[in-house]
Amino acid sequence: MPRFPAVPVSTETMWTIQLLALGVLVAAVPSEDKKLSDKANALADRSATLAFNLYHTMAKDKNMENILVSPVVVASSLGLVSLGGKAATASQAKAVLSADKLNDDYVHSGLSELLNEVSNSTARNVTWKIGNRLYGPSSISFADDFVKNSKKHYNYEHSKINFRDKRSALKSINEWASQTTNGKLPEVTKDVEKTDGALIVNAMFFKPHWDERFHHTMVDNRGFMVTRSFTVGVPMMHRTGLYNYFDDETEKLQIVEMPLAHKLSSMIFIMPNHVEPLERVEKLLTREQLKMWISKLKKRSVAISLPKVSLEVSHDLQKHLADLGLTEAIDKNKADLSKISGKKDLYLSNVFHAAALEWDTEGNPFDADIYGREEMRNPRLFYADHPFIFLIKDNKTNSILFIGRLDQLQSASQQTLDGK
Ligand SMILES: *[C@@H]1O[C@H](CO)[C@@H](O)[C@H](O)[C@H]1NC(C)=O
Ligand SMILES: *[C@@H]1O[C@H](CO)[C@@H](O)[C@H](O)[C@H]1NC(C)=O
Ligand SMILES: *[C@@H]1O[C@H](CO)[C@@H](O)[C@H](O)[C@H]1NC(C)=O
């Protein structure tokens, strides 16, 4: 793992010194080329490690079906816990993020910069709506400092909630989530078991805008094989183009990378050649392995078929984060979240992390002339009609914006069967 100097040297400062020494005059750097600070890079690196740790913990859960998590958003929730916590409650949150050696301000401002960078819809030409809210029991009074800093660094809102009327409490959480995501995520949860603590809620909607769009008429109904003996009907979109591709013959799987607009990020699909439980491929999935696969990708003509669906997944990450070491914050007797309320009277009862990811045909126009070219002949087939793993990787920060798996499709297909 790369090490970071205790006192980071700003790369910008170094540039300035070098340029002055050369006597060069530079024009202002356009904002998209703006370098990230060392802090943001360090936290991007930590969040990528978290992505794999969290995925594996979740995949171990036998009841888990589809997975959809945003590691950078989970990282910011851990930042929030360390902001509101003291002693072990705070240090464990940093440790889960492998940031225990970094000082608090470094962590908070690094995460904040990272999150602003990767979620900037304008600069990135993707739609990513993120709502973050901390709910506390109605008896709580939030400390001003905490409210200010959690808003500033992590874009968190704060709200009190009264679970004595559980139905209306749930309704208000779900309504907020729906509103935050323009209706794309109508429900975060059907129930809350422990109603005496603080709840973290992330509600998100992500829609990739492909660097090269699919043709909206190239969509038809096909079968998605959930297992070898169970197929569901699903709309699929198809296109052939030049993509980074690797056929791992040894591991019997295919990898394809599809750039999102402006090529600032891309979606990477990892799919076994045949229908099988994802467990085998998941065992291979490490950060090092992904790096190795990426190094083997070669641009070639690929005929891609993807389900055109909206994947809505909601997780309660509390127990998974506990598996990774966040044990104090969630323990009623041990938690010290006294920087949230000024009193040691709060613990973290739920960490709801819910997202809707919409795979659609939309993207930027492309040069249709390539279809006449020699290199477009004999495309490899990437036909995603059975469970696969996917990641949305940021090209600039190397962070992982989402990691997940598509394992089950019944409900998704019902919702989006071409609007019928
Ligand atoms: C998002 O990016 C645009 C264009 O690069 C920039 O003008 C804007 O200030 C950024 N917004 C935020 C909130 O950083
Ligand atoms: C992406 O860019 C295209 C073309 O400039 C534009 O039509 C579209 O609205 C943009 N989408 C987002 C989410 O920024
Ligand atoms: C990542 O960014 C570089 C530099 O802008 C670009 O050349 C490359 O194609 C991008 N990669 C992907 C997968 O979009």
pLDDT of residue 312: 95
Q: Take residue 374 and report the two structure tokens written for it.
A: 């020699």
> What band does 20 get if pLDDT is binned at 50, 70 and 90?
very low
Output the pLDDT for position 374. Answer: 85
Instruction: State in Å: Cα 314 to ligand 1 middle.
Output: 29
pLDDT tier for residue 16 given thresholds of 50, 70 and 90 = very low
Q: Is the pLDDT of residue 21 over 60?
A: no
- Compute the distance between CA of residue 201 and CA of residue 237 in angstroms, rounded to an integer: 32
What's the pLDDT band for 18 if we cut at 50, 70, 90?
very low
CB distance 203 to 177 below 8 Å: yes
Whether the pLDDT of residue 308 is over 80: the answer is: yes
Judge if the beta carbon of residue 120 lies within 6 A of ligand 1. yes
Residue 8 has a pLDDT of 38
Atom of ligand 2 nearest to the CA of 122: 14
Q: Give pLDDT, residue 254.
A: 98
In this prediction, residue 44 carries a pLDDT of 97
Residue 320: enclosing H or E segment and its boundaries?
Answer: helix 318-323
Query: Tokens representing 282?
Result: 């998941």
- Which residue from 29, 31, 262, 265 has its CB within 8 A of the most atoms of ligand 1, so it is best to mutate? 31
Residue 277, pLDDT above cutoff 90: yes
318-363: per-residue pLDDT in tens? 999 999 999 999 999 999 999 999 999 899 999 999 999 999 999 9
What pLDDT, on the 0 to 100 scale, is given for residue 372? 80
| Contact criterion met (CB below 8 Å) for 134 and 204 | no
- Cβ neighbors of 358 (< 8 A, separation 6 or more) are 184, 205, 206, 207, 309, 310, 311
Which residues contact ligand 3 via a Cβ below 6 A? Answer: 257, 259, 263, 266, 395
- Report the pLDDT value the prediction gives residue 35, as an integer from 0 to 100: 87
If you take atom 3 of ligand 1, which residue's CA is the nearest one? 123
Owner of token pair 């705070």: 90
- CA separation for the pair 68, 314 (Å, rounded): 8
Average pLDDT score, the chain: 90
Contact partners, residue 270, CB within 8 Å, separation at least 6? 253, 254, 255, 281, 285, 293, 388, 389, 390, 391
Q: What is the pLDDT of residues 358-393, one digit of tens each?
A: 999 999 998 888 888 888 889 999 999 999 999 999
Using the predicted structure, report yes or no on whether residue 63 has a pLDDT greater than 70.
yes
Counting atoms of ligand 1 from 1, which one is nearest the CA of 121? 1
The pLDDT, as a whole number, for residue 33 is 61
Ligand nearest to the CA of 117: 1
Q: How is residue 261 annotated by DSSP? A: G
Give the mean pLDDT of 59-68: 95
Average pLDDT over residues 123-138: 94
How many Å apart are CA 347 and CA 191, to the nearest integer?
18
At 289 the pLDDT is: 97
pLDDT(43) > 60: yes
- Measured in Å, residue 16 CA sits from the centre of ligand 3 at 26
Distance separating alpha carbons of residues 93 and 166, to the nearest angstrom: 29
Cβ-count burial of 218 within 10 angstroms (0-12 exposed, 13-18 middle, 19+ buried)?
Answer: middle
Token readout for 389 is 């793993």
pLDDT given at position 409: 87
Mean pLDDT of 160-186: 95
- The whole-number pLDDT of residue 218 equals 94
- Ligand 2 atom at minimum distance from 126 CA: 13
Number of H helices, E strands in the chain: 13, 14
Ligand nearest to the CA of 362: 2
Q: Give residue 116 CA to ligand 1 midpoint distance, Å.
A: 9
- CA 301 to mean position of chain CA atoms: 28
- Is the pLDDT assigned to residue 31 strictly greater than 60? no
- Nearest-CA neighbor of 126 among 47, 46, 210, 194? 210
Q: What is the pLDDT of residue 367?
A: 83
Among the bound ligands, the one closest to the CA of 123: 1
Indicate if the pLDDT at residue 10 is higher than 70: no
Q: Helical H runs in 181-316?
A: 279-284, 287-296
What spacing in Å lies between the alpha carbon of 397 and ligand 3's midpoint?
12
Residue 413 pLDDT grade (very low, low, confident, very high; cuts 50, 70, 90)? very low
Greater pLDDT, 4 or 345: 345
Q: To which H or E segment does residue 249 belong?
A: none
In this prediction, residues 24-48 reach a mean pLDDT of 74
Residue nearest ligand 2's atom 7 by CA? 364
Domains defined along the chain, listed by start: 38-208+311-358 (3.30.497.10), 219-307+375-416 (2.30.39.10)
Determine whether the shortest distance from the Cβ of 125 to ligand 2 is under 6 A.
Answer: yes
pLDDT for residue 299 is more than 50: yes
